[in-house]
Structure 1
Amino acid sequence: MKITLVSTIFLSIFFLSCKDKKEITTVPEPEITFENKAKELVYNMVEKVGNYKTLAKKKDVVYTYTYQTPDDKTDISIEKYIFKDELSYGKYIKHERTFPELEGAFEQGYDGTAYWLKHNGEILTDSTRLKRVAFNRPTNFYWFAMFQKLLDPGVNYEYVEEKVVDNNVYDVVKISFKSVNSKPTDIYQLYINKNSLLVDQFLFTVADFGVVETPYLMKLEYETIDGIMIPTKRQYKKSNWDAHVTEEPWITVNWTDIKFNNGLTKADFTKN
């Protein structure tokens, strides 16, 4: 049987079509598995607000950090971070709580290797102040990227309970961290809203300052900026592990003027 020219063309087109279909076939990504329910809840929450990959694509951030205590003492700093290597810088333009003895603005930073403090162009080297800088810089960075970093290695997840607070139903998840040299680490209890998947509030300790037995309760309000849900309004005060707060006034923290992709470089975080 002779194969006509038309048949040859038809078969050629058919096989080329099959070849193209084969080439564009994609292998589905493996299904994500979780070691427990608690981690799955945290993962879904992070996906809702924006994961670290999404945050890292922003390269850097600049914003104004305002911290006010009930005695009307206020710190205002211009914060700058580069997400890669977690570089951190703060220029305190008002500091009634942090180094109030220093007149005028001061700067503090972490350049990826060391912490530093500068006032009126002079590098300050006393160990007491630098210890405070070594707390402030990673802490401020961590608060900003906290939810994304809850998926870092070395984090433990434990489901506590389902709880109703102010007519909202929450999954309560305990977060702890692997200790280095038996050093105490912080503990968080996240109240993940079953409806919104967001953390409306959480309990936390501050192990570096000996606050380990009784926690603080932090309440959050969110703002969406460049596709990321950021808890820009915060208030917190002493609590117990049932999230029953004291009668003390709230400490307030606000993040404003948040801008991503500012073209920051490592030079912006050096002390020179």
Structure 2
Amino acid sequence: MVATATHQDSPLLFRQLFEKDSCTYTYLLADIGHPEKPAVLIDPVDKTVDRDVNLIKELGLKLKYAMNTHVHADHVTGTGLLKSKLPSAKSLISKASKAQADVFVEPGEKIHFGNLYLEVRPTPGHTQGCVTYVSGEGEGQPSPRIAFTGDALLVRGCGRTDFQGGNARELYKSVHSQILSLPKDTLLYPAHDYKGNTVTTVGEELLHNTRLTKDEEAFVKIMENLGLPYPKMIDVAVPANMVCGLQEANAATA
């Protein structure tokens, strides 16, 4: 587990958690200034649900939403299992993902937990349903702002664009308009990292991202020639994640 301190002048509790097999980061956020300590969990993994549940209980939080940035292809989401263990929780995903969930969000919507909120920004291109969740602005909100970029933007890179409706031009435009247009001190937290990086900033990525600092045509050429292997988990993960990570349970009751 990687933990960061509460942001200055904000009641935000923030934890960054890691799943080693898929190198996935899960993020726990809570408003600890609110009597109920409402929380959200971003990009949970089925393998680490017990860890996440134990942490939520230890901290005295009430999970409001278990949510995904998109339909992942490299692990099975933990949203369905979390709902079974924490009845207060609802699953949440973008409407554009076309996956099952209790709550569907669209661009511009705000996801409230206590007096804090996350803004939904559309960042398609890795998949059609990708969104980035950005912390709010104003009194009591985290400063600097925080963005949870999923696979759209990684530290010094970005997600692949060769399956699940991916489109390199769309990714380039959405990341530049929705993420890299944020203030330069905005903290960016990706869904994955394979080199041990935990966080970056808009300013860093504008200078050092090996793909997104190129012009659009050069970026498209890079993405078309990555030559990446087919994701090992995709045939299991995508169908399961389309049904909140509970493909086997749904099949058993069909």
Q: Same fold, TM exceeding 0.5?
A: no
Report the structure, 1 or 2, having the larger strand content: 1
TM-score computed with the length of structure 2 as normaliser: 0.30
Bigger Rg, which one:
1
